[in-house]
Chain A
């Protein structure tokens, strides 16, 4: 379980996240939604201890993530598919991370097979397509067989087959009793995958409810309509300058 309490993060005068409180429950896929600049990525980084909160706390399995020595065993994360050194092979990337957590080499082969990268594992990651880097990021997240998984825009760059694979994977991870938090801009995809939604707008919590309740907010019962209606006032960047 992920638990966020009164979490605030300011960069100078800018409040990236303000007084956020929510829980992400195990056994479900929780969609993490919000317009660009709403604070989704910042929240994920705060949960993972990559950024230090200005105030408030975020815990994973009841513990501050920063206090853990073997993070891969507690949470797996795909933050940005580019978080790889382009000069290193996919295999070396995974093996170094696995080794840091005392995981055996066999785990690397398993996650490579799981993500369909076995054939490309010895190539330098700089030669990978966006979709392959995305798969490598997911392989990284799965390395430690963690009870908690966080995915930031996992569908970026994936082809339809890859999208379907992610959807199946997320459902399966939740069915295994894991806590799964997935940020995405793709409303239709979320409506296929998520059980529960947490919605941010301008760094604040806008909604935290089951998917069907959220969709019911719009007259049409459509997730996208509900999202647009709810976040209309909190969208920071919009084409055409309309507010």
Chain B
């Protein structure tokens, strides 16, 4: 303990508005300094690389069992980029996003954050941007790695898959963006609910239960609603085969639009709700 002051006014910018670059940096320090977040994302990558390996092997089994005339319509990516295993990534991304908000509320850190930056919109926007960026990188690693594993396994069995092409780029982009979308939706739920367990339940309901519940009642309206759910439009964007699509499947532009709307609406909810509520 020093008896005399070591305090000096040491500043880089004049007191006043916070610079966005500083807010991004601050939120990035928060994001990366929680070991649980980093471990969770690393584990998620490892799990999906394993699932990609298994999915590719299953794909090969399916391909082998197909009669010759059906093989041209076979979607070689579907065994890896499809199916409900991806709901795990959606839930984990949603939970990680939610906890960037609910973690601050439950610990009281939110009060320190808002005392440091009282004009809240900037810090809310920075939090959205940093979380989305980190989850996009994680999503891109999972997407590219899973694709490479699938390609390696299938080509080892002499199954040709088209590596280039619009469909492949679309598949990689959509899978990279699935995680930030779910994280932002989780943040939006967390901002409104503020309680970690309740928010994670809400994330599960939103991503897993709702699509099935909506789809089970099959009217024109419910089909559209189901298509607007993240799992549905992501699945649409990951189709690379030339097979026939079932009726009611949305167009690719409609799927991209739904993805953009989810990202935007989630960010707007976070920034506006965080902006005015008492903490």
Q: Which A positions have Cβ atoms within 8 angstroms of B?
A: 45, 48-52, 65-75, 77, 79-80, 82-89, 92-93, 95-97, 99-104, 106-107, 110-111, 113-116, 140, 142-145, 165, 168, 172, 176
Q: Given A100-B22, A114-B2, check contact A75 B29 (CB 8 Å).
A: no
Q: Is B278 an interface residue (CB 8 A)?
A: yes
Q: Given A50-B278, A87-B35, A114-B6, check contact A69 B109 (CB 8 Å).
A: no
* Chain B, 3-24, CB within 8 A of any chain A CB: 3, 5-13, 15-19, 22-23
Q: Which B positions have Cβ atoms within 8 angstroms of A?
A: 1-3, 5-13, 15-19, 22-23, 25-27, 29-30, 33-36, 103-104, 107-109, 111-119, 122-123, 276, 278-279
Contact B17 A88 (CB under 8 A): no
CB distance from B77 to the nearest CB of A (A): 37
Minimal Cβ-Cβ distance residue in B for A80: B108
A50 neighbours in B (Cβ, 8 Å): 111, 114-115, 278-279
16 additional contacts (CB under 8 A) given A48-B114, A88-B30:
A68-B16, A69-B17, A69-B122, A70-B17, A83-B111, A85-B103, A89-B33, A93-B109, A100-B18, A100-B25, A100-B117, A102-B12, A102-B19, A111-B7, A113-B6, A145-B9
Q: Given A85-B107, A85-B109, A87-B34, check contact A110 B18 (CB 8 Å).
A: no
A77 neighbours in B (Cβ, 8 Å): 115
Contact B29 A84 (CB under 8 A): no
B15 neighbours in A (Cβ, 8 Å): 70, 73-74
Bound Cα distance from A65 to B15, whole angstroms: 13
Q: Given A116-B1, A145-B7, check contact A79 B111 (CB 8 Å).
A: yes
A116 neighbours in B (Cβ, 8 Å): 1
Of A51, A89, A101, the residue contacting B117 (CB under 8 A) is: A101
Q: Which 5 A-B pairs have the closest CB atoms?
A: A100-B26, A92-B33, A69-B18, A73-B15, A83-B108
Q: Given A69-B16, A80-B108, A84-B107, check contact A96 B30 (CB 8 Å).
A: yes
B23 neighbours in A (Cβ, 8 Å): 100
B2 neighbours in A (Cβ, 8 Å): 113-114
Contact B116 A72 (CB under 8 A): yes
A82 neighbours in B (Cβ, 8 Å): 107-108
Contact B25 A68 (CB under 8 A): no
Q: Given A66-B118, A68-B119, A71-B118, check contact A103 B111 (CB 8 Å).
A: no
CB distance from B99 to the nearest CB of A (A): 10
Bound Cα distance from A125 to B276, whole angstroms: 29
Bound Cα distance from A200 to B8, whole angstroms: 34
B6 neighbours in A (Cβ, 8 Å): 110, 113-114
Contact A87 B36 (CB under 8 A): yes
B35 neighbours in A (Cβ, 8 Å): 87
CB distance from B159 to the nearest CB of A (A): 45
A100 neighbours in B (Cβ, 8 Å): 18, 22-23, 25-26, 113, 116-117, 123
Bound Cα distance from A107 to B36, whole angstroms: 27
Q: Given A69-B18, A96-B30, A110-B6, check contact A84 B119 (CB 8 Å).
A: no
Contact B26 A97 (CB under 8 A): yes
B279 neighbours in A (Cβ, 8 Å): 50-51
Bound Cα distance from A87 to B104, whole angstroms: 11
Contact B3 A84 (CB under 8 A): no
Q: Given A70-B18, A85-B103, A87-B34, check contact A48 B119 (CB 8 Å).
A: no
CB distance from A143 to the nearest CB of B (A): 8
A101 neighbours in B (Cβ, 8 Å): 18, 22, 116-117
Of A71, A73, A85, A97, the residue contacting B104 (CB under 8 A) is: A85
Contact B25 A99 (CB under 8 A): yes
A49 neighbours in B (Cβ, 8 Å): 114, 118
Bound Cα distance from A101 to B16, whole angstroms: 9
CB distance from A107 to the nearest CB of B (A): 6
Bound Cα distance from A99 to B16, whole angstroms: 14
Minimal Cβ-Cβ distance residue in A for B19: A102
B33 neighbours in A (Cβ, 8 Å): 88-89, 92, 96
A88 neighbours in B (Cβ, 8 Å): 30, 33-34
Minimal Cβ-Cβ distance residue in B for A76: B115
A74 neighbours in B (Cβ, 8 Å): 15
Bound Cα distance from A95 to B114, whole angstroms: 15
Contact A51 B278 (CB under 8 A): yes
